[in-house]
Amino acid sequence: MAPPAASQRYPSPSQPSGKSEVSDLKTQLRQLAGSRAPGVDDSKRDLYKKVISYMTIGIDVSSVFGEMVMCSATSDIVLKKMCYLYVGNYAKGNPDLSLLTINFLQRDCKDEDPMIRGLALRSLCSLRVPNLVEYLVGPLGSGLKDNNSYVRTIAVTGVLKLYHISASTCIDADFPATLKSLMLHDSDAQVVANCLSALQEIWSLEASHSEEACREKESLLSKPVIYYFLNRIKEFNEWAQCLILELAVKYVPSDSNDIFDIMNLLEDRLQHANGAVVLATVKVFLQLTLSMTDVHQQVYERIKSPLLTLVSSGSPEQSYAILSHLHLLVVRAPFIFAADYKHFYCQYNEPSYVKKLKLEMLTAVANESNTYEIVTELCEYAANVDIAIARESIRAVGKIALQQYDVNAIVDRLLQFLEMEKDYVTAETLVLVKDLLRKYPQWSHDCISVVGGISSKNIQEPKAKAALIWMLGEYAQDMSDAPYVLENLIENWEEEHSAEVRLHLLTAAMKCFFKRAPETQKALGIALAAGIADFHQDVHDRALFYYRVLQYDVHVAERVVSPPKQAVSVFADTQSSEIKDRIFDEFNSLSVIYQKPSYMFTDKEHRGPFEFSDELGNISISPEASSDIVPAQQFEANDKDLLLGIDEKDDNKGLSNNNGSAYTAPSLESSSNISSQMQELAISGPATSATTPQSSFGFDDLFGLGLSTAPAPTPSSPLLKLNPRAALDPGAFQQKWRQLPISLTQECSVNPQGIAALTVPQSLIRHMQSHSIHCIASGGQSPNFKFFFFAQKESEPSNYLAECIINTSSARAQIKVKADEQSTSQAFTTVFETALSKFGLP
């Protein structure tokens, strides 16, 4: 494990360099291992502490594994705990040595102290070494029957851990059934809660291939089970209550009595001290009453005050999470919160992310009765020390003005902002005044008199400058010096860096010309000339267009550039209501924080490598460990999902490019691990390489020796050269994949080295790329991985598309090929197979 980059940057004097200290520890531990002298536990404890502290700061101390295990024979519980901690951390990397720990852990599982029994069982299940699962079943079985609830609690979670290491072992031992009966009969609430959590996860992962699991999963949502939990909810601790409430959200009530029963049962949960419980309850209430409009309204009234209290009583982080949810509700039903606007006033010390949300809510709840107070409050923020918030609050004032309440007073305030002579305040205000004038042309007179007094020299921000120029053009007849201000600006054309401003200048000069031709003619001429010579394409095009239209007919030009305008009644909303509903359905989840439905941000591209590196590295055949709470996150490589995967790929590019080099380190590191493993394989296994000599020769042939001697499977197909820099955008790929028929389906075997190399994320993709076959999407979970590739002929734009499913347990690959040119698809398949067979070979 690499030491953390951060601690390298800030080396602490106490931090040892590593190697020599570790070997010192090793000798010392060895000396203590056999000793039975009194006081040996104390010295052991010091040594253990040192080992753990090295581990904690990121130094690799896995080399003392053997010695640690040897020293583990002790009755001291702190020593035991430290040992469990150590073993849990390094067992995965030392599967062989882990066998040594099994013995003492199993013994501890039978200890008379329930605490030790529990801890040992937890550690045993946390080893996560697949070939040791057989040793887990016995202790887990007795742990589930233990008479101490602490041990049972741990055993239940242990079953879930076992399931993730080896699902089949877990199912074969019939643990799910045991958990089910525990869940329904155990007297301890925590045991019951853990059973519920484990069963939810196990059954929903099993549900994809077992009908029975599917039924069981649904039975969790049956009325008796739901009521069994809800009636007892007070016995559970707060976190387990969240779990039960999450379950209740999925329950479909049979009738309205059912709904009211549940709400009555949960009513007092709204006053729980834990915000997570309150929010989970709110979600249940909202979801239950979606179909009953008036009750739904009452629910809003009911949940309002608990939520507002939560906002103001917790830490800023908690407030933020709750405000995000409140924001969603406020936007959905602003009138309910209208009287509570004072809750959204910003306090000076709040972090800006909280202030920003509060500003948005103040905007949302503004109505006839409170606009005056809200705007007064917002104006206070405009003089705030925090510039970002000052800007935000001016924008908020503008938004309220656009909502048509008390516009008169607001315009006055905005104009006062302009007198503050703060550059950012002026800039923001100008943009707002422009938008206001588009909606309320009747205010132009008041605004123009103030705007006219602003010197364009004081405005630097492009957006503000553009706004000012727009007003100069639009109201040229009311502003006496408009042509001259424009002329000044046009003379400084060269110094104007923003294309947006130059575009506006052109249009404003035109508009001004139509109203006051004699004064503007010269300036317009200069502007058009400068515009046509402009290096920016849009500016150039617009200037040329204006010039030609003027040449054609001045009246036509006026009709085009400056037609009589209608006031804008509604500005386009940024978020569609469909998306808002979608976020609402995902209440109490990350979607609300990001203000996007989960499908827009859940990131499959990055989940891929995660599964690769972790699950496959274990050779375990268990499916992904995550729960199915959000099905969208599971990558099911069907075509529908492929669409999503591709769409998101582009979005993520920016993100992944941003991260520093430190972030890519782990994958490089693991790939070097793998490659050293592969070297071992290659050295030790002449037999394996002998199994695929044919195909690897075939590869040499294609690229070097010519086809005549190639023992390729289809010697008749012509030599195919692929374009190494082929490009195909995802959209086109999808379209082609749908349109083209399958021209070839082939099955072939993948060599074991290839299967091993699959553990390295992207390795196959990189490998195929070196053979001019490009990957466009990939995914799947062990043992099945799915890839979509494409390639292009070197000489002509003829595409080949391929779907390749690799099953790691059978080491076989299934290839489906589609091609623009059916005749050459056989040749492409050959190239593809050859390349694939080369995968993983050094």
Partner 1 sequence: MLQCIFLISDSGEVMLEKQLTGHRVDRSICAWFWDQSISQGDSFKLLPVIASPTHYLFQIVRDGITLLACSQVEMPPLMAIEFLCRVADVLSEYLGGLNEDLVKDNFIIVYELLDEMIDNGFPLTTEPSILREMIAPPNLVSKMLSVVTGNASNVSDTLPSGAGSCVPWRPTDPKYSSNEVYVDLVEEMDAIVNRDGELVKCEIYGEVQMNSQLSGFPDLTLSFANPSILEDMRFHPCVRFRPWESHQVLSFVPPDGEFKLMSYRVKKLKNTPVYVKPQITSDAGTCRISVLVGIRSDPGKTIESITLSFQLPHCVSSADLSSNHGTVTILSNKTCTWTIGRIPKDKTPCLSGTLTLETGLERLHVFPTFKLGFKIMGIALSGLRIEKLDLQTIPPRLYKGFRAQTRAGEFDVRL
Q: Between residues 353 and 545, which has the closer beta carbon with respect to partner 1?
A: 353
Q: Between residues 54 and 839, which has the closer beta carbon with respect to partner 1?
A: 54
To partner 1, the closest distance from the beta carbon of 158 in angstroms equals 9
Q: What are phi and psi of 637, to 5 degrees?
A: -80, 50
- The Cβ of residue 557 has, within 10 Å, a number of other Cβ atoms equal to 20
Tracing tokens 């206001």 back to the chain, one arrives at 436
Give Cα 357 distance to the centre of its chain.
21
Q: Between residues 347 and 576, which has the closer beta carbon with respect to partner 1?
A: 347
Q: Between residues 482 and 592, which has the closer beta carbon with respect to partner 1?
A: 592
Closest CA to 599 of 626, 621, 578, 623: 578
Tracing tokens 């583990």 back to the chain, one arrives at 72
To partner 1, the closest distance from the beta carbon of 549 in angstroms equals 45
To partner 1, the closest distance from the beta carbon of 315 in angstroms equals 6
* Whole-number Å distance between alpha carbons of 52 and 41: 16
Q: Between residues 20 and 659, which has the closer beta carbon with respect to partner 1?
A: 659
DSSP 8-state assignment for residue 781: E
Q: Between residues 171 and 276, which has the closer beta carbon with respect to partner 1?
A: 276
To partner 1, the closest distance from the beta carbon of 553 in angstroms equals 50
To partner 1, the closest distance from the beta carbon of 419 in angstroms equals 10
Rg of the chain in Å (alpha carbons) = 35
Using CA atoms, how far residue 655 sits from 605, 643, 760, 761, 762, in Å, is 12, 20, 21, 18, 17
Closest CA to 642 of 779, 831, 818, 748: 779
Q: Between residues 394 and 827, which has the closer beta carbon with respect to partner 1?
A: 394
* Whole-number Å distance between alpha carbons of 634 and 610: 12
To partner 1, the closest distance from the beta carbon of 357 in angstroms equals 11
CB 437 within 8 A of CB 567: no
451 CB burial (10 A radius; 0-12, 13-18, 19+): buried
To partner 1, the closest distance from the beta carbon of 685 in angstroms equals 29
Q: Between residues 63 and 274, which has the closer beta carbon with respect to partner 1?
A: 274
DSSP, residue by residue, 513-539: HHHSHHHHHHHHHHHHHHHHT-SSHHH
Sheet holding 744-749, edge to edge: 744-749, 812-819, 799-807, 784-792, 774-781
Q: Between residues 101 and 324, which has the closer beta carbon with respect to partner 1?
A: 324
CB 80 within 8 A of CB 118: no
CB 295 within 8 A of CB 266: no
Q: Between residues 272 and 767, which has the closer beta carbon with respect to partner 1?
A: 272
To partner 1, the closest distance from the beta carbon of 89 in angstroms equals 7
To partner 1, the closest distance from the beta carbon of 225 in angstroms equals 19
Closest CA to 318 of 310, 307, 330: 310
To partner 1, the closest distance from the beta carbon of 453 in angstroms equals 17
Closest CA to 842 of 657, 618, 686: 686
